[in-house]
Homo-oligomer: A and B are copies of this chain.
Amino acid sequence: MLEQAVSNLISDDATLSRKQLAMRDRESELLLIACSIVEREGFAQLNMDKLAAASSYSKGTIYNHFNSKEDLFAALAIQALSKKIPLFKSALDFEGSSREKLIAMHAGMHLFSKLSPILAMCALVSRTPAVTEKSAPERLEKLNTLEDLVVSFGDKFIELGQSSGDITLAPGITSDSIVFANWAMAFGTSSLVNNATQSSCVSRQHDTNIVLQNLNFLLDGMRWMPLSCDFDYQKTWDRAEKDLFGEEVALIENQS
């Protein structure tokens, strides 16, 4: 059921005509160019003129794909979310306890935001009213559908935790509460890590894994076993990075 939702949303090559496929390819191409402009010159410097100039298409064609600049941002956010789905799937198959799987998922998300900071940022920016107010309703709907899909993947982790007895929901606490708390913590932590770097309480802890630290506080508070005092989740984190992003991590390490 989930699998079907994924294939409907992500890759449905068989049911698309050649023209539609070409359209989709061109859209990916444009999104790639948009990313590279943002990477090189910053968010404020991305505009439709530059995108047209940097691509081999005219402004009119660009507007055939994105009905406004904000719509373009939303499209980038959708791409970011789409790329995250496979990470959720891999994390569910990650070798280890339910809490280890969940941590693998967060490690994947965090690494994604380090490897594709621009795409990750788009997910933030696209949640901003300046964007939602002007992007196409269909695009926003797709973004919401994808987000709901991610939430249902989140549910799977909770189910695993419950069936293995690693977590028991206290009265008044629903599966949604747990998913939401994880989402809020991940969103808040990476927003601040990416954008509040000048703040003392962020910059002072460069050597510690503050993302894992925050996550351990949260999961310990939910009493998701084993607790962080009884298990070395940093090892899980490292292993997850290797498993989910082996090649990419090696690349980063070679650069520095």
Chain A residues at the B interface, C-beta cutoff of 8 Å:
42-44, 70, 121, 124-125, 127-130, 132-134, 144, 147-148, 151, 154, 170, 172-174, 176-177, 179-181, 183-189, 191-192, 195-196, 198-202, 204-205, 208, 210, 213-214, 216-222, 229
Q: Which residues of B contact A44 (CB under 8 A)?
A: 70, 129-130, 133-134
Shortest Cβ distance from A46 into chain B, in angstroms?
A: 9
Not counting A144-B198, A173-B213, A218-B221, a sample of 4 additional A-B residue pairs whose C-beta atoms are within 8 angstroms of each other reads A121-B129, A125-B128, A180-B192, A181-B217
Expressed in whole angstroms, the Cα–Cα distance for A128 and B118 within the complex equals: 12
Q: Which residues of B contact A210 (CB under 8 A)?
A: 177, 180
Q: Which residues of B contact A202 (CB under 8 A)?
A: 180
Q: Which residues of B contact A43 (CB under 8 A)?
A: 128-130, 133
Please provide the 3 A-B residue pairs with the shortest distance between their CB atoms, ordered closest to farther.
A188-B188, A221-B221, A220-B221
Expressed in whole angstroms, the Cα–Cα distance for A194 and B126 within the complex equals: 13
Q: Which residues of B contact A181 (CB under 8 A)?
A: 213-214, 217
Identify which of B180, B187, B188 contacts A201 (C-beta below 8 A): B180
Asked whether, in the complex, the Cβ of A174 is within 8 Å of the Cβ of B205, the reply is yes
Shortest Cβ distance from A210 into chain B, in angstroms?
A: 6
Complex: chain B residue closest to A176, CB-CB: B201
Shortest Cβ distance from A150 into chain B, in angstroms?
A: 9
